[in-house]
């Protein structure tokens, strides 16, 4: 499993920061004998358009060139072929490896429903309004899940997840930086 890509050097790999990546799933098992793998993805993030994906191997994010990605009927299950992996034996070495994508500068961060519990109590900071408060609850309304935020004025603010753009998640500071469409904050509460 040698990475033959000449665009990624050791020096550039050394500078990769975990915050520059988003986990999107994991390798489940080999598919056939030609190096294809079944992957379960909980966040698709345009994987079909990516030139590279990264597998976490022994604690390091290792880049691989994407040959192709095909859906196999289920929303969360895909067949992936990486150019550097050419046999089922090589796939078996990366089974259970987490799959990451490099975040693009303008790309929003997605939170899947499995991660919602991890951000309860995080402070929410809107890029225009500043600190809004902290996430007190996740309300799973069908087709329109909502974050319940206890504001700095001790009021409840309900923000639809589909209506906000998550710009950054800082797990150390327990903060989430968001961007909201004009008027959403005012419409959802009497926020001052």
CATH of the domain at 95: 2.40.30.60
Q: Work out whether strand 98-102 and strand 77-82 pair parallel, antiparallel, or are unpaired.
A: unpaired
Alpha carbons 4 and 164: distance in angstroms, whole number: 39
Q: What is the mean pLDDT of the chain?
A: 78
* pLDDT score of 53 more than 60: yes
pLDDT score for 110: 59
* Residue that is written with structure tokens 């080999």 in the block: 30
Whether residue 89 is contained in a domain is answered as yes
Q: What is the pTM of this model?
A: 0.51
Specify the CATH number for the domain of residue 160: 2.30.30.240
Alpha carbons 25 and 79: distance in angstroms, whole number: 12
Q: In this structure, are 124 and 68 located in the same domain?
A: no
Q: Is the dihedral of CA 78, 84, 86, 90 positive or negative?
A: negative
pLDDT tens digits along 147-188: 889 988 888 888 877 677 877 778 788 888 888 877 777 776
pLDDT tens digits along 108-126: 555 555 566 778 889 999 8
Last residue of a domain, one of 102, 131, 162: 102
Domains in the chain: how many in total? 2
Coil, helix or strand for 113? coil
Contact (Cβ atoms closer than 8 angstroms) between residue 38 and residue 31: yes
In order, the DSSP letters of 131-179 are: EEEEEEEEE--TTS-EEEEEETTS-EEEEEGGG-EEEEEETTTTEEEEE
Q: In this structure, are 30 and 80 located in the same domain?
A: yes
φ, ψ for residue 34, nearest 5 deg: -105, 20
Contact (Cβ atoms closer than 8 angstroms) between residue 174 and residue 120: no
- The residues with which 21 forms a beta bridge, in sequence order, are 102
First-to-last CA distance in the chain? Answer: 56
pLDDT score for 43: 60
């Amino acid at each position: 499993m040698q990475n033959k890509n000449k665009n990624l050097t050791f020096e550039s790999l050394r500078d990769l920061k975990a915050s520059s990546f988003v986990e999107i799933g994991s390798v489940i098992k080999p598919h056939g004998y030609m190096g294809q793998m079944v992957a379960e993805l909980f966040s698709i993030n345009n994987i079909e358009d990516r030139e590279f994906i990264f597998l976490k191997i022994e604690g390091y994010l290792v880049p691989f060139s994407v040959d192709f990605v095909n859906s196999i009927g289920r929303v969360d299950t895909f067949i992936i072929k990486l150019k550097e992996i050419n046999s089922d034996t090589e796939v078996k070495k990366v089974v259970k490896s987490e799959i990451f994508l490099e975040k693009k500068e303008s790309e929003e961060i997605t939170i899947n429903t499995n991660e919602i519990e991890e951000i309860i109590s995080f402070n929410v900071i809107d890029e225009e309004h500043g600190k809004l408060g902290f996430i007190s609850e996740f309300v799973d309304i069908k087709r329109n899940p909502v974050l319940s935020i206890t504001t700095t004025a001790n009021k409840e603010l309900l923000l639809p997840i589909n209506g906000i753009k998550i710009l950054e998640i800082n797990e150390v500071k327990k903060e989430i930086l968001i961007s909201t469409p004009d008027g959403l904050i005012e419409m959802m509460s009497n926020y001052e």
